[in-house]
C-alpha cells in the first residue's frame, strides 16, 4: 500500500513496519525464501493484518519495484534519449549510490533478484527510451542491442564497484560508463 499521507497513524506505522521488515529480509536472503510468516513475525503483526494491505508477498514486491523505478524515472524523465545519454548515466550512478542495501542487493544479486531487477529495467526503459521518437524509428533488433549494451554497462560497473568495496570515486564510474557507452573499448584504451 503506497501511503498518501492522509492515513491513520496506526496504518502508517503498520505499513512502515512491513516495508522495513521486508527490506531486512531482502538483504538477508533470496526472495523465494522469504515467507509471510517470517515477515509478520519481524514486523510484529499478524498475518491477517498483512493480508489486509497486501494480497500476496508478490504484491509487496511489486510495490517496492514500482517505488524504486518511479523515483529513478522521476530523475531522468526530462532527458532526451539518446542525445543526453551521458546525463542519464550520471543520474543512474548518483541515484544508485543514494539508495540503500535493498537496491544494492536487487542490482548486484545473480539469484532470484535478477528477475526483479529486470522488471524495474523494463519499466524504466518503457518510460524513457520508449518515448524517444528517434529511438522508436530504429528496428526492434537494433533497439534491443542498444538497450542491452547500455544497461549491461551501467549495471555491471555498479556491481563491480560494490564488489570492490566502493573504493573508486563515483565520478570515475560515471566517466567510465560514458566512455564505454559513447566511445566503446577504443575510448577506454586511449
pLDDT tens digits along 21-72: 999 999 999 999 999 999 999 999 999 999 999 999 999 999 999 999 999 9
| pLDDT band at 187; cut points 50, 70, 90 | low
User: Nearest 10 degrees: CA dihedral of 151, 122, 84, 133?
Assistant: 130
pLDDT score of 6 more than 80: no
d(CA 125, CA 119): 10
Banded pLDDT at 113 (limits 50, 70, 90): confident
Whether residue 155 is predicted with pLDDT greater than 70 in this model: the reply is yes
CATH code of the domain occupying 9-55? 1.10.10.60
Q: Are 23 and 102 in contact (CB under 8 A)?
A: yes
Residue among 162, 27, 172 nearest 97 (CA): 162
Task: Look up the pTM and report it.
Answer: 0.88
Q: Is the pLDDT of residue 5 over 70?
A: no
| Portion of the chain with pLDDT greater than 90, in percent | 84
Question: For residue 116, what is the DSSP state?
Answer: H
What SS3 state is found at 42? helix
pLDDT confidence of 175, banded at 50, 70, 90? very high
Which of 65, 66, 34 has its CA nearest to residue 50?
Answer: 34
Residue 173 near residue 93 (C-beta atoms within 8 A): yes
- Contact call for residues 26 and 109 (beta carbons, < 8 A): no
C-alpha 58/C-alpha 53 separation (Å) is 12
Joined grid coordinates for residue 94? 548518483
Query: At 8, is the pLDDT very low, low, confident or very high (cuts 50, 70, 90)?
Result: confident
Q: How far is CA 186 from CA 89, 156, 171, in A?
A: 19, 19, 20
pLDDT value at 164 more than 90: yes
Q: E-strand spans in the chain?
A: none
Determine whether 170 is exposed, middle or buried from the number of CB atoms within 10 Å of its CB (0-12, 13-18, 19+): middle
Amino acid at each position: 500500500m503506497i501511503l498518501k499521507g492522509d492515513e491513520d497513524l496506526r496504518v502508517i506505522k503498520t505499513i512502515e513496519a512491513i516495508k522495513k521488515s521486508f527490506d531486512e529480509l531482502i538483504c538477508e536472503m533470496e526472495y523465494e525464501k522469504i515467507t509471510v510468516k517470517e515477515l509478520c513475525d519481524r514486523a510484529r503483526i499478524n498475518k491477517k493484518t498483512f493480508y489486509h494491505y497486501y494480497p500476496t508477498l508478490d504484491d509487496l514486491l511489486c510495490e517496492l519495484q514500482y517505488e524504486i523505478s518511479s523515483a529513478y524515472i522521476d530523475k531522468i524523465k526530462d532527458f532526451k534519449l539518446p542525445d543526453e545519454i551521458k546525463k542519464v548515466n550520471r543520474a543512474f550512478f548518483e541515484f544508485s549510490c543514494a539508495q540503500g542495501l535493498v537496491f544494492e542487493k536487487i542490482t548486484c544479486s545473480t539469484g532470484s533478484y535478477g528477475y526483479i531487477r529486470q522488471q524495474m529495467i523494463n519499466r524504466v526503459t518503457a518510460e524513457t527510451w520508449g518515448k524517444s521518437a528517434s529511438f522508436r524509428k530504429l528496428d526492434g533488433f537494433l533497439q534491443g542491442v542498444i538497450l542491452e549494451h547500455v544497461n549491461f554497462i551501467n549495471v555491471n560497473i555498479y556491481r563491480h564497484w560494490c564488489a570492490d568495496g566502493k573504493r573508486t570515486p563515483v565520478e570515475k564510474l560515471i566517466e567510465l560508463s560514458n566512455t564505454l557507452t559513447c566511445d566503446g573499448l577504443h575510448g577506454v584504451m586511449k
